[in-house]
Amino acid sequence: MLLLPLLRLTRPANLVTAVADVLAGMAIAGYLTLDWASFGPMGWLCLATIGLYGGGVVFNDVFDAELDAVERPERPIPSGQVSLGAATGLGLGLLAIGILAAFQVSRLSGLLAIAIAAAALLYDKWGKHQSILGPLNMGLCRGLNLLLGISVLPEQVQPWLWVSVVPIAYIAAITMISRGEVHGGNSGTLRVAGLLYGLVIACIAAIAQQRAQLGTAFPFLLIFGLFIFPPLWRAVREPVGKNIGMAVKAGVLSLIVMNAAWVAAFASFPLALLVVCLLPLSRLLAKVFAVT
């Protein structure tokens, strides 16, 4: 059945984390509510991020087809479950859906979607092979995704442009770690990633404190730390492929909790809880589909 291999290409568990990015951005813009009027823009932006992220990860496998034939032959393209042409068509279709959906919200949202698609393709083709610029390139995709959520109110993008640095730093750390998934890594890189993790938590806590919402955001930041640091520490002590893969998986799925912390700092505790409810769905999908 072709549908399942095609779904595997899109990394469904990761798509849920991209939706959480957009919801966090909407909270930062001051737009995230349960009012009926907000559901339309929310739906379009969620569809946009699913298309953009899905298309980006599909092209990751398209460009890596030859390498995966050697290192990960079980993946859909090298295993022959999905042809290279079908995968390319899927990736292009998803990116087009993402861009068109974003333009339904605003012109700025559409332009940000184009920037996300370009950044994703740049990473897939070139960035992943660069030791320094690669992680920053991957982080840029998530930073722009947060801004995509903020663009629900276009006038809020410029004042909050700087917050995109936080997901850029976090995803750059995960990308650094992921380089050792196949052949193992080194503890020095993992320790640097741990430092970036700590800076991300400190930054969100400082913003929450400035907004007098640290008490609201603290539980989510605590859970976030408990999710990401133990598997990272195991990888530091024994930097083999399996441990590094678990650290990467924990880092990606924990994006939902990090985004819940943003929502708690800018919106409310109940809305942050609703975002956290995406975590069980993402973890369930992660048991069926690969995260990395």
Reported as a single tens digit per residue, the pLDDT across 263-274 is 999 999 999 999
DSSP string, the chain: --HHHHHHHH-HHHHHHHHHHHHHHHHHHT---S-HHHHHHHHHHHHHHHHHHHHHHHHHHHHTHHHHHHH-TTSTTTTTSS-HHHHHHHHHHHHHHHHHHHHTT-HHHHHHHHHHHHHHHHHHHTGGG-TTHHHHHHHHHHHHHHHHHHTTSGGGTTTTGGGGHHHHHHHHHHHHHHTTTTT---HHHHHHHHHHHHHHHHHHHHHHHHTT-HHHHHHHHHHHHHHHHHHHHHHHHS--HHHHHHHHHHHHHTHHHHHHHHHHHHS-HHHHHHHHTHHHHHHHHHHHS---
Predicted TM-score of the model (pTM): 0.93
Mean pLDDT of the chain: 93
- The total of structural domains in the chain comes to 1
Of 75-79, 97-101, 205-209, 239-243, the least confident: 239-243
Q: What's the rounded mean pLDDT across residues 81-103?
A: 96
Q: Which domain holds residue 30?
A: 3-288
Higher per-residue confidence, 28 vs 73: 28
Q: Per-residue confidence at 43, pLDDT binned at 50, 70, 90?
A: very high
**Is the per-residue pLDDT at 180 higher than 80?**
no
pLDDT tens figures, 207-248: 999 999 999 999 999 999 999 999 999 998 988 888 888 999
CATH number of the structural domain spanning residue 228: 1.10.357.140
